[in-house]
Amino acid sequence: MRHRHAFSLVELLVVIGIIGILISLLLPSLSRARESARQVQCAAQLRQIGQAMMTYAAENNGVFPGASGWHIYGGDGTPPDSAGPGWTEIIKRYLGSPQTGIYRCPGFPEGISNFNYFIAARWTMISGRTHLKISDIKTSSTFVLSADCTGHKLYAPDFGISVESGDDCDKDDGSSPGLEFSGEMYGMNLHRAGNNILFGDYHVAPFKAYDERQITYNPRRMENWEDVTAD
């Protein structure tokens, strides 16, 4: 009569050890895969925002939605909500409600803000204008139309350092940089690949740092945010 061979304690410990090693080897790969998925999802959301902006402009004489003040989604114009709609409210008919999470970057810390993208407003503000036109964009493949909003000045405390309160649904880079990278005073990178940027030709690409050869905040020539000039 045969007797079943039982695992000894040593053998069990060896098996457990092997499983532990395999898990330790797989976890970094799984973590990278999840991070890659978040970056891809964020890029897809930015493309959708770009398409909504393009559709809005096509129906409004080539004019993009403008940025104005600090807006609370669905607010009635009383503080901290400024009078008038924010740009995310303006393009709601093309993109749907922010409740869907379309404006929330999946790489952004949770529980802080549902609006983690901004629109370009630096050049229009410097030029004394409120709206950007499609025809203004001559550097379409390098012009920052929107991007991950990583500048802490555009968020309310405790995470941000704005003097305003509430969750601004109208983030723009008119007065403060919206796109700041890890290593800069108020910046951070939301993805392993960097921060996603929606350019004027509606393509999206991640960058780990500002690149003067590939990123401009002036729709007509290559200029960094601080040096943007009016025509």
What one-character-per-residue DSSP string does 166-207 give? S-BS--BSSSS-S---BTBTT---SBTTBEEEEETTS-EEEE
Segment 152-161, tens digit of pLDDT = 999 999 899 9
Band of residue 34 on the pLDDT scale cut at 50, 70, 90: confident
CB 125: neighbour CB atoms within 10 A?
A: 17
Give the whole-angstrom CA distance, residue 150 versus residue 76.
27
Quote the CA–CA distance of 94 and 195 in Å, as a whole number: 25
CA distances to 4, 6, 183, 198 from 1, rounded to whole Å, are 10, 16, 72, 74
Q: pLDDT category, 12, cuts 50, 70, 90?
A: low
Mean pLDDT of 70-79: 91
pLDDT digits (tens, 9 = 90+) for 171-222: 999 999 999 999 998 899 999 999 999 999 999 999 999 999 999 999 999 9
What's the pTM value of the predicted model, to 2 decimals?
Answer: 0.85
**pLDDT score of 29 more than 60:** no
Of the pLDDT bands very low, low, confident and very high (cuts 50, 70, 90), residue 68 is: confident
Report whether pLDDT(7) > 60: no
Is residue 149 within 8 Å of residue 179, measured between CB atoms?
A: yes
